[in-house]
Every structure is written in structure tokens, then in C-alpha cells.
Amino acid sequence: MFVREKRINGYSYLYLVESVREDGRSKQRIIKNLGRKEVVLADGDLDRLAASIARYSDRASVLAQLAAGNPDGLSCKRLGAPLLFGRLWQESGIAAVLEELLTGLFEVARADGELNPAEVDYLYFVADGSGGHAFARTLAEHNRNVATWRRIKNGEQRRPVEPSPPSAFLYEGGC
């Protein structure tokens, strides 16, 4: 729906119009003759109608709050893809299934790590930029590894090709 202006005998008239498809063609159908433009504007009828309709429009509400200098009166909602996929995620039950599967997996990994801990003398670890970790026995070693990671993160140094954790520290599904 939209408002259309039409000139007849030198006067401008405003109409509330909708687009419809009839016999395969698009056509405009007049819903309401709002009256002569200058009369409608002078009476404020159009402004009242727009304000009434704007109550149901999120965009108009946002613009009205901003125009009034009240951005704090706005709240944020996720729309579009996040809203759609969020609802699908909840309604399909995927979250519950994944939680159940992952809980069992992590419990097995945790139990394995607790029952068969790796015997190592490493006290520190940090990401090494390849998906693995750099392990250190001393704080000085650890600080060098952290500095290397920061250079990698800032793009000053290339990432290593292979992860570099010691094999004695790794166990399947480790936590």
C-alpha cells in the first residue's frame, strides 16, 4: 500500500492505493480517497494517519526515536538470518541432541585424562598459531612462546606448518 497523488482539473488529490495482479497484469486499486492534498495537509490528517501506521513499523519507531534525540529509548533485536536460524535451532531440537552427544564425548575424554594423565614436566602452554600449543617448562620459555604467538597474531610472523606439542602430553580427546 502507498499514497498516490493524482492531478484532476488543476487540483491534487491523495489516494491510499494498493497494487494487485489481475489477469496476469499489475494494477493499482484505490482503497480510499483521502481528499484534496492541500486540505489533507492543512488539517494534519495525513500526519495523524502516518503516526498511527508508524506505531506498527519498527523502522519508523527507530527513526522517530532518533529524530526525538532519544537513542537510549531503542532496544536491539536480531532479525533476518540470526533470528531464522536461531528459531530453527530451537524448534528442531538440534541443540539438545548436540548437547547430549557432546556431553558424553567430553565426559569420556575427561575420564580418560583423569585416569591416564600424561607424565610431563610442562607448566605453561600457549597457542602456537597452527591449531596446536607451544609448551614450556619455565616462565622465560613461556614468555618467548607468548611473544611469538603475538607476532603471529599481528601478522609479523608466519604460522608454523605443523603443530608443535610434545607427543607425551597428547592423549586422545584431551582436555
Mean pLDDT of 65-72: 74
List the beta bridge partners of residue 8.
Answer: 11
| 90 and 136 part of one domain | no
Query: Among 77, 49, 51, which Cα is nearest to 63's?
Result: 51
Q: Is the pLDDT of residue 81 over 90?
A: no
- Tell me what pLDDT residue 102 has: 74
Q: Yes or no: say if 135 and 125 are a contact pair by the CB < 8 Å rule.
A: yes
- Tell me what pLDDT residue 8 has: 92
* Highest mean pLDDT, choosing among 14-28, 34-48, 103-117, 127-141: 14-28
Q: Is residue 117 part of a domain?
A: no
Looking from the CA of 65 toward its CB, the CA atoms found within 13 Å total 14
| 7 and 69 part of one domain | yes
Q: Which residue has the cell 494498493?
A: 18
How many structural domains comprise the chain? 3
Rounded distance between C-alpha atoms, residue 36 and residue 8, angstroms? 10
- Percent of the chain exceeding pLDDT 70 equals 72
Domain containing 165 — which CATH number?
3.30.160
Give the mean pLDDT of the chain. 76
Angstrom CA distances, 2 to 53, 62, 63, stand at 12, 20, 19
| 92 and 67 part of one domain | no
| 16 and 63 part of one domain | yes
Q: Mind listing the pLDDT tens digit for each residue in 131-156? A: 788 888 899 999 998 998 888 888 88
Mean pLDDT of 70-82: 68
| 11 and 41 part of one domain | yes
| 21 and 42 part of one domain | yes
Query: Among 90, 55, 58, 88, which Cα is nearest to 76's?
Result: 58
Cβ neighbourhood burial of 14 (10 Å; 0-12, 13-18, 19+):
buried
Q: Is residue 26 part of a domain?
A: yes
159: cell is 604460522
Domain that holds residue 40: 2-73
Q: Is residue 102 part of a domain?
A: yes
Q: Is residue 115 part of a domain?
A: no
Angstrom CA distances, 16 to 5, 50, 51, stand at 9, 12, 15
Q: Is residue 56 part of a domain?
A: yes
Q: Is residue 119 part of a domain?
A: no
27: cell is 494494477
**pLDDT greater at residue 44 or residue 131:** 44
Q: Indicate the pTM of the whole model.
A: 0.34
Rounded distance between C-alpha atoms, residue 109 and residue 161, angstroms? 27
